[in-house]
Structure 1
Amino acid sequence: MARSTTPTRSAARPRDSKKPATPRSPQRDLFQLDSPLTAEIRGERSLMAFPFFALSKNAWMKPLTYDHATVSIEVRPSASGVATIYDKEIVLYIASLMAAKIEAGEDVVQDFVFTAHDLFSVTGSNHSARSYGRLSEALERLQGTQIKTNIEAGGEGEEGFFSWLSEARLHYSRTKTGERRLKAVKVRLCDWLFRAILRDRQVLDYAAAYFQLGPIERRIYEVARSTCEEGPDGPVPLEIDLATFRLQIGYQNPLSNFRAALKQIAGTDTIPDYDIALIETAPDAEPRAGRGRKTAPVSVVITRRERVEPESPALATPIDSVAAQ
């Protein structure tokens, strides 16, 4: 999406300069903003592949666990619940700011300062008072949710729990009428994710339509984007059994509900860049007497659609990952 470039921060003028200095806004005097974001939305591959967030718009108060193959994840709620897939938008926005800095050759630190206005513009949220209220609630959940995982980041592992944001503050001023006016959001990204983005460089771009998707569709897209591979002859389909796919998506309801939801999603073709199909296979053996008919196993097949290359190579700007330095 086309956006305005980041305002240039001019160097301080010599004291003996007779030319008057350009007036600066009070906000600029207090904060050096990392927004606006001028690149795509991006996410770290592990955060895309595995279920770290609740698939809910409302407060999710139960712990989340994932333990499959070699990966284990435990997520504990705070008093306001587990961070949701919608709260994740803030994490993606921060990761995108960080990736853009790395690509530009700038130094990066764990503290980020941005405007809520730019966050809402990038994620497609409206700029209502309710959106600002939801932002405060989301930051609280991101700071309060506790995560424990054996996934290493930046060549290092961690024992114990961490939060997505170790610090989150809303800076505001008062108008003459006493109304609060939000000036900037300041956050500190957790060590684990900061190392993953800075050192591992496994950062992938998101389709612009991601923010218009529902919770399950978002997770399906993320798993597909982080897992489907490109072969010498084109995209390689991902085939996974339904039960394992349910675990990776982080779906908490019964498998039969997940199958019904997935069938509907496949029928409406709503996942950007990917086709989904449910394939039933014949049971391995006949059921024993008195035990009823055995349910046919179901596999999920995800295939990336062929990309249409632009006519002029100069117009092609795919960014699949932050280039390793």
Structure 2
Amino acid sequence: MTDQLTFDLDADRDNDSPLIGTAKNEKTLMAFNFFSLTREHQTELPRYDDGKYTIEVEGTKHGVASIWDKEVLIYLESLLQDRINRGEAPSPIFQFTANDLFRITGSHPGGSAYERLEGALKRLKGTMVTTNLLDDDEEGGETGGFSWIDDYRIKWRKNKNGEKSMQAVSVILGRRLYKAILKKQEILTYDSRYFQLKPLEKRLYEIARAHVGKQPGFKMGLEKLRLRVGTQNDLRRFKAELVSISKRKFPLPGYGLSLIDPRIQRSIDARKPKPTGRTPLKSYLVYFYPTDRLNQLLPIEKVPTLEELGDDV
């Protein structure tokens, strides 16, 4: 694999943009969180450890990559999948125009957008991720550190007003991620409305998209979901946010969600004693379901968990 940026950024070089297909991402990067959910400067994220998988994320003085920076990564992975779909030889090297990236993400081109893109590239290159997720194949794997991109260059020109204008962006996708994409081949498409969602909604959508598939839905514990989302809000506030989202007419693009009090089912069972007091927060479950297949929804007690689906990545 290429170790250096050995290509020329002359304007005559063909761009990989425009992106022809839809936005896509590797399933693991949807099911788990690797990014800051705030625009506030953070140099590291809380360590994730569920007993099977671990994730550690550390940044430089520029901070760790955020969920907005992730949009650049999604765009690069989409360009890679475009190449594969056309039957071309895959490569971790990409050149694209900023305006095509902005077209996909719904961002308005302009001076501040170019500055944010350059900042995103710095954070994607500077963020160090240590995890055993991308290489675990149930029989073994490895744990190691990597950055999202290995290198990048930006070509500028000055316009007639003397202001810098971004002509082309060249990036080498991180080796670890590139290898995982080609090996696992679990690339999923995004609804274009994803880019207009708020950080929490983005993470909920990604988790639903990663696991619902052709199933009528799935459920998972509230605390497990909180950790997978990556929010630093406590469980009580997180639950309140989910309740608010679940009450909307359209909670998420293509998906709905509901909170389940596990005591309710027991309370309507005449053989079970009536529950007393409040349900512990950690006992709540969250049910994700596709809104285009409502006629296929199962009774709550028959909705499978991620573990029962065998789809816990």
Task: Compute the TM-score of the two structures, normalised by the length of structure 1.
Answer: 0.78
1:207 matched to which residue of 2?
191
- Bigger radius of gyration, 1 or 2? 1
Secondary structure at the aligned position of 1:57 is classed as coil
The residue that corresponds to 1:14 in the other structure is none
Give the superposition deviation at 1:154. Answer: 9.2
Query: 2: distance between equivalents of 1:51 and 1:182?
Result: 30
- Match for residue 217 of structure 1 among 174, 197, 201: 201
Q: Kindly state the Cα deviation for residue 282 of structure 1 after the two structures are TM-superposed.
A: 2.3
- Of 279, 289, 292 in structure 2, the residue corresponding to residue 303 of structure 1 is 289
| Equivalence for 1:314 | none
1:204 counterpart SS class: strand
Q: Write the distance in 2 (CA, Å) between the matches of 1:229 and 1:180.
A: 45
Give a deviation string over 1:138-188, Cα, whole Å, max 9, x none.
Answer: 111111111011013496944431110110221112345533221101111
Within 5 Å, which residues of 2 pair with 1:256-275? Answer: 256-268=236-248, 269-275=250-256
Identify the match of residue 75 of structure 1 among 37, 57, 60: 57
- 1:28-43 aligned within 5 A: 28-29=11-12, 31-43=13-25
Whether 1:167 aligns to 2:157 is no
Q: SS in structure 2 opposite 1:112? A: strand
Rounded Cα–Cα distance in structure 2 between residues aligned with 1:126 and 1:294:
46
Q: 171-180 or 221-230, which moves further after superposition?
A: 171-180
Distance 1:152 1:61 in 2: 22
Give distance in 1, aligned partners of 2:45 and 2:60.
10
Describe the SS at the equivalent of 2:165. Answer: strand
In the other structure, the counterpart of 1:316 is none
Task: Describe the superposition over 1:198-220 as per-residue Cα deviations: whole angstroms up to 9, x where unpaired.
Answer: 22210000011100100000000
Root-mean-square deviation (CA, aligned residues, Å) is 2.5
CA contact (8 A) 2:263 2:275 kept: no
Say whether 1:245 aligns with 2:225: yes
Label 1:175 to 1:209 Cα distance change in 2 as closer, same or farther (>3 A). closer
2:6 equivalent in structure 1: none
Say whether the 8 Å CA contact 1:146–1:163 is kept in structure 2.
yes
Q: Deviations over 1:197-251 (max 9, x none)?
A: 2222100000111001000000000011111242xxxx33211110011011111
Shift of 1:66: 1.3
Distance 1:238 1:165, change over 3 A: same
1:276 aligns with 2:257: yes
**How high is the sequence identity, in percent, across the aligned residues?**
37
The residue type paired with residue 107 of structure 1 is A
5 Å matches for 1:62-101? 62-101=44-83
Note closer, same or farther for the CA distance 1:159–1:300 as it changes in structure 2 (3 Å cut): closer
Is residue 55–residue 251 contact of structure 1 (8 Å, CA) maintained in 2?
yes
Q: Contact 2:132/2:144 (CA < 8 Å) preserved in 1?
A: no
Matched position secondary structure for 2:227 = helix
Contact 1:154 1:196 (8 Å CA) reproduced? no
- In structure 2, the residue matched to 1:321 is none
Contact 2:251 2:257 in 1 (8 A): no
Identify which of 91, 113, 132 aligns with 1:109: 91
Structure 1 residues 178 and 302: CA distance shift in structure 2, 3 A? same
Letter in 2 for 1:251: T
SS at match of 2:34: coil
Structure with more helix by fraction: 2
Distance 1:52-1:127 versus aligned 2 partners, 3 A rule: same
- CA gap 1:293/1:37 in 2 versus in 1, 3 angstroms: closer
